[in-house]
Structure 1
Amino acid sequence: MTCFRQDIRTLFISDLHLGTPDCQAQLLVDLLRRARPERLYLVGDVFDLLAMQRRAVLPRQQQAVIARILRLARSGCEVIYIPGNHDAAFRRLCGLEIHNVSVRRRAVHRLGDGRRLLVAHGDEFDGHVRMAPWLITLGDRTHRVVMTINRWVNHWRRLTGRPWWSLAGAVKRRSGTAQRYVAQFERLALHQAEREGFDGYIGGHIHQPGFAQQDGRLYCNDGDWVEHCTALVETISGTLELIDWRGQRLLNEPINDCGADIDEALAHAPA
């Protein structure tokens, strides 16, 4: 087990999809047990209420995720929950505090160095990303098949003593259509930050961790706990990093509009 660093001020996680068999709950529990953030943002799709309408799955490991989050909230960590499109029913609770967890439609996070970042799930851009309906349907079906295969691959890897690995993530990194979708999403998020006068945007939704920067504004996506098992962290110094489920750094935030290649980082992460 990797010893977790002590310099983390804020932790951002999203797209857990609790309630489905694809949630990598044990990896997330391991991370949360070693993390001691001052503030935790749950950036949407914590629960997959859409999938749970068809078949609800909430095994012991997923219950442990909920218990650990609530324990952090009781221990003084500020926990902010921003429902996404898969748990949109909880948006009716925005403005309330439940078991020390503040439910909000979106939030503004001020980094230690003074930058102000808009935090939202990201599904607000769905109507603006241009993609043919038939391609969306095909992508959804293909994704479900790949995720089913992914579960079997990782079952075999566990039996042979090898760590978790994302087949779905590897497929998406090689898909030109997926990468064009991500690029459109990034541009929309950066435009939103510019329009509202923020220094950047933090979101989830598209299951693609990464950074982008344009005209001094920063885009951050914390990833997911289905395909990539990544989180975004703010260090005590106010800088941002993407980490994996072991707490190991994948990427630092880009500087001076330089790109940050998450695909290369994920491709070379130990498997």
Structure 2
Amino acid sequence: MKTQFKTIVISDIHLGTKGSKAKEVVRFLKKYRCENLILNGDIIDGWQLKKSGVWKRKHTRFFNRILKMIDNDDTKVYYLRGNHDDFLDQVLPLKVGNLSILKDMMYESCGKKYYILHGDVFDSITTNLRWVAYLGDIGYTFLLWLNRLINHYRRKKGLPYYSLSQYVKGKVKSAVSYIDKYEKELAIMAKTKGCDGIICGHIHKAESRTIDGIEYLNSGDWVETMSALAEDYEGNWQLIYYNEIDFGNNGVDDSKIVPLHEKESYAAVSFQKPNDDLELPPFRF
């Protein structure tokens, strides 16, 4: 029997690019069931598809998997737009059956309220200097290409997957500083909206930390880390990494799951739009 979660959050799959781990995310979604699936931005990479990206059958299979989850498990799917799939702005908001396409959302569960958004709204480069963002995207694409070559060699040697880009992010001081500021700005946003926590993606770095009393959760990505956030029926959030899942058994190897919170009493899950009258805090990079 499949492991049942209350809510699963995944982001940054970047379908349409060579680096997208489409097969892996489909395999992941086949292993688990959930009441709510939140696709938190950059699921389709419209930027790359306009240039050199290619849509493959494995990318279509991802959406076939989503449709099966809706039909077979009555899963409610929430697709939040990111900066790479900003073409969704043309149809927002949209609801068709169990599928909703939104800019952002509020998530209430077990007495806590979380603001969920992709996170690019706090990226001043992406928001204000689009040409610089595209230039950075080219460099990042090259880094992923190099990463594929390295891991092709490692597979032949029987070595595990290694993320070169994650290593670079952890070593370059400017990248570390950027990520730290990004997380703090999002925590300020959550506090401004009266939330207990914030759930995001965008920077391809799975994370759980408490910032000034606010729970900061990042689901990571399916290009480098292959990670997701999952919530059980007692309100406990977990980070699950694809490379640490035992696909030979039903469920997850508990020793490989990163527990995020202590258990809480169960409460109904509810969804609602955030209050539009609340102003965003100033972006201060």
Q: TM-score w.r.t. structure 2 length?
A: 0.79
Distance 1:77-1:230 versus aligned 2 partners, 3 A rule: same
Please report how far the alpha carbon of residue 136 of structure 1 lies from its aligned counterpart in structure 2 after TM superposition: 7.1
Which structure 1 segments of 5+ residues have no match?
A: 256-271
Give the structure 1 partner of residue 271 of structure 2.
Answer: none
Give the structure 1 partner of residue 258 of structure 2.
Answer: 251
CA offset digits 1:160-209 (Å, max 9, x no partner): 55543322222222222211111101111100011110111000011111
Instruction: State whether structure 2 residue 232 is matched by structure 1 residue 225.
Output: no
Counterpart code for 1:225: W
Q: Is the 8 A contact 2:228 2:240 kept in 1?
A: yes
Give the structure 1 partner of residue 47 of structure 2.
Answer: 50
1:238 to 235, 243, 247: 235
**In 2, Cα distance between equivalents of 1:33 and 1:116:** 28
Instruction: State whether structure 2 residue 167 is matched by structure 1 residue 203.
Output: no
CA offset digits 1:94-139 (Å, max 9, x no partner): 221246311111111112x21000000001101289xx99997885
1:107 to 105, 108, 111: 105
Give the structure 1 partner of residue 282 of structure 2.
Answer: none
Please report how far the alpha carbon of residue 15 of structure 1 lies from its aligned counterpart in structure 2 after TM superposition: 0.4
Counterpart code for 1:68: R
Counterpart code for 1:107: M
**In 1, Cα distance between equivalents of 2:196 and 2:202:** 20
Q: Is the 8 A contact 1:74 1:100 kept in 2?
A: no
Give the structure 2 partner of residue 185 of structure 1.
Answer: 182
Distance 1:141-1:36 versus aligned 2 partners, 3 A rule: same
Comparing 204-213 with 166-175, greater Cα deviation is found at 166-175
Instruction: State whether structure 2 residue 33 is matched by structure 1 residue 36.
Output: yes
Q: Percent identity?
A: 32
Comparing 221-230 with 157-166, greater Cα deviation is found at 157-166
Pairwise mapping of residues 42-191 of structure 1 onto structure 2 (< 5 A)? 42-75=39-72, 76-98=74-96, 100-111=98-109, 113-127=110-124, 140-191=137-188
Please report how far the alpha carbon of residue 142 of structure 1 lies from its aligned counterpart in structure 2 after TM superposition: 4.0
Which runs of structure 1 show a deviation greater than 6 angstroms over 4 or more consecutive aligned residues?
132-138
Q: Secondary structure at the match of 1:38?
A: strand
Q: Secondary structure at the match of 2:216?
A: strand
Aligned residues: 249
Please report how far the alpha carbon of residue 71 of structure 1 lies from its aligned counterpart in structure 2 after TM superposition: 1.2
Distance 1:138-1:103 versus aligned 2 partners, 3 A rule: closer
Q: Secondary structure at the match of 1:74?
A: helix
Q: Is the 8 A contact 2:4 2:32 kept in 1?
A: no
Give the structure 1 partner of residue 12 of structure 2.
Answer: 15
Q: Is the 8 A contact 2:125 2:133 kept in 1?
A: no
**In 2, Cα distance between equivalents of 1:202 and 1:57:** 30
Distance 1:231-1:171 versus aligned 2 partners, 3 A rule: same
RMSD across aligned positions (CA): 2.6
Q: TM-score w.r.t. structure 1 length?
A: 0.83
Q: Is the 8 A contact 2:219 2:228 kept in 1?
A: yes
**In 1, Cα distance between equivalents of 2:21 and 2:203:** 17
Q: Is the 8 A contact 1:12 1:40 kept in 2?
A: yes
**In 2, Cα distance between equivalents of 1:146 and 1:83:** 25
Q: Secondary structure at the match of 2:111?
A: coil
